[in-house]
Amino acid sequence: MPASPDLILLSPAPLDCSAAVAFVTDPAAGAIDVFLGTTRAERNTAGQELTALDYEAYVDMATNQMRDLATRARAKWPICRLALLHRTGRVAVGEPSVVIAVSTPHRADSFAACKFLIDTLKVEVTIWKKELWHDGGATWVHPKTT
Amino acid sequence: MPASPDLILLSPAPLDCSAAVAFVTDPAAGAIDVFLGTTRAERNTAGQELTALDYEAYVDMATNQMRDLATRARAKWPICRLALLHRTGRVAVGEPSVVIAVSTPHRADSFAACKFLIDTLKVEVTIWKKELWHDGGATWVHPKTT
Amino acid sequence: MIRIHVKLFAILRDAAGKPELTLELPDGATVHAAAVALGEEVPALAEHLPHTGFAVNRTYAGPAQVLVDGDELAAIPPVSGG
Amino acid sequence: MIRIHVKLFAILRDAAGKPELTLELPDGATVHAAAVALGEEVPALAEHLPHTGFAVNRTYAGPAQVLVDGDELAAIPPVSGG
């Protein structure tokens, strides 16, 4: 496989937003958009509070899909640099599970590309989240549209 | 003036994207969008390369306007936290002149609010940029629509 | 006969109590035939299969795709990354 | 007579060679009257005034707004932040 110009990472380590911004910084870019998806505090119908989300991935396939997403975004917008990072494992409330950074010459493209990447990642890439509740309960999140 | 819940800063110091992301991180948020406007390499009609942009502001008014922008964004979207930072002075190629970070429960609102803030800032807030060229020349940027 | 390596994820792995298994299928078997065989082999998966997609060798595959010996067939419940 | 503190920014400051000046205007003078007086006082500004907006005491003001003694009038060329 040819070396990718993009930073694509699916990892159990905490995501480093600064490293993503540094990676996409480019003299040819006038705009950088960065999206972070973070674990939001929730309470379930039993009154339990969410403590974390636990992410599982089909790592080989998901990594290929993330590379393919980057290629599709580059075909649609004039992207200078792109970083697409996703966690596996346990992500506590307030922490990021996904960081996407895109630099482009002009700002409208950075917003559009970043939005495309997160919207498409969420419906295509083989990653699943499980909600971990304060009482030790756990619930897989599987949207009922396959 | 009541204490603002938002981080509003117009400053000659380099902008710290990580601090903005840390500021807007919130347990109630599932999404953070961050926009950075960076100085893009250019060449003018005389063949000179751009070395930096030099930003001047009507500081008192611009700061009030940035606070007002935050208030208007909060009236339109369910914003958890908001940071709006702009440089004054010399911003070299590749460096950010503006950093905007918005956290919201759901992602569409973070993108929309961030886009509103940068679009509106660019047409309303009393800040001006001067292009500094490699040969020492300088050009004020004043879009011809007042 | 062909041997297919099946991988299970998320709620399917929990339901089956294991992350993978091997299926033996007739030559020319399709993804659909493999899904039926999977529900018979592991009855706990049956209720989830209507919501399950499949990938063959790490690429999404439709029900009519023909499997060959040694394929990796992943059973993919609705994804929820991000 | 009223005294108005005028602030000049960006290309206007460079054209005038100074960042501020004081205008003396008749009682009841408007922003428009101040702009005309500014073009007469500093002829180098005249070519820019068609593209110049104004703020009174740090708020955008239309040409008909009446000024009072001690107002801060900012001459605002097209903005280009971001």
What pLDDT digit, counting tens, does each position of D14-23 carry? Answer: 999 999 999 9
The predicted-structure confidence for B15-39, as pLDDT tens digits, reads as follows: 999 999 999 999 999 999 999 999 9
**Under an 8 A CB cutoff, do B27 and A111 touch?**
no
Whether residues B32 and A40 touch (CB distance < 8 A) is answered with no
pLDDT band at A2 (very low <50, low <70, confident <90, very high): low
Distance (Å, rounded) from C-alpha B110 to C-alpha B122? 18
| Shortest alpha-carbon distance between residue C33 and chain A (Å) | 19
Give yes or no for a contact between D22 and D5, defined as CB atoms under 8 angstroms apart: yes
Residues B46-53 have a mean pLDDT of: 96
pLDDT at B146: 40
User: A30 vs B36: CB contact, 8 Å cut-off?
Assistant: no
Is A34 close to B34, i.e. CB distance below 8 A?
yes
pLDDT reported for residue A143: 87
3-class state of residue A114 by DSSP:
helix
pLDDT band of A101, cuts 50, 70, 90: very high
Quick one: tokens of A82?
């792109």
**Cβ–Cβ contact B94 with A under 8 A:** yes
Mean pLDDT of chain B: 95
Whether residue D51 and residue B144 make contact (CB cut-off 8 A), yes or no, is yes
C-alpha D57/C-alpha D63 separation (Å) is 14
Which chains border D (3 or more CB–CB pairs < 8 Å)?
Answer: B
- Regions of chain D short of the pLDDT cut 70: none
| Binary contact (A36, B21; C-beta < 8 A) | yes
What ranges in A4-90 are assigned the alpha helix state H?
17-24, 59-76
Say if residue A1 is exposed, middle or buried (CB neighbours under 10 Å; 0-12, 13-18, 19+): exposed
**DSSP 8-state class, residue A42:** -
The answer to whether B111 and A111 are in contact (CB under 8 A) is yes
> Between chain D and chain C, are at least 3 CB pairs below 8 A?
no
pLDDT tens digits for B82-100? Answer: 999 999 999 999 999 999 9
What is the C-alpha to C-alpha distance for residues C61 and C64, in angstroms, rounded to an integer?
A: 8
Whether the CB of D14 is below 8 Å from some CB of chain B: the reply is yes
Do B and A make contact, counting contact as 3+ CB pairs within 8 angstroms? Answer: yes
Cα–Cα distance between D38 and D46 in angstroms, integer? 8
**Residue contacts between B and D (CB atoms, under 8 Å):** 80
Strand order in the sheet with B89-92: B89-92, B50-57, B127-133, B138-141
Q: What's the pLDDT tens digit per position in C3-37?
A: 999 999 999 999 999 999 999 999 999 999 999 99
Q: What is the pLDDT of residue B16?
A: 95
**Are A54 and A39 within 8 A, CB to CB?**
no
| Token couple for B118 | 């940068």
What span, in angstroms and rounded, lies between the C-alpha atoms of A84 and A121?
10
Question: Residue D74: its pLDDT value, please?
Answer: 98
Q: Is the CB of A40 less than 8 angstroms away from the CB of B17? A: no
A146 pLDDT tier (thresholds 50, 70, 90): very low
Q: Which amino acid is at A69?
A: L
Residue A54 predicted with pLDDT over 90: yes
Question: H or E segment at B132?
Answer: strand B127-133
Report the alpha-carbon angle B108-B113-B117, nearest 5. Answer: 155
Contacts of A26 in chain B (CB under 8 A): 94
Q: Which of B22, B48, B49, B52 is nearest to B34 (CA)?
A: B22
Q: Name every chain D residue with its beta carbon within 8 A of the beta carbon of B127.
A: 79-82
For chain B, say whether A31 makes contact (Cβ under 8 Å).
yes
Q: B114 and A118 in contact by Cβ < 8 A? A: no
Residue C21 CB-density burial (10 A; 0-12 exposed, 13-18 middle, 19+ buried): middle
Q: Considering only CB atoms, which chain B residues are within 8 Å of A31?
A: 35-38
Of A103, A109, A83, the closest CA to residue A7 belongs to A83
Phi then psi dihedrals of residue B70, to 5 deg: -60, -45
Report the run of H or E that residue C28 belongs to, with start and end: none
Distance CA A112, CA C30 (A): 39
User: Angle, nearest 10°, between helix axes B17-24 and A17-24?
Assistant: 140
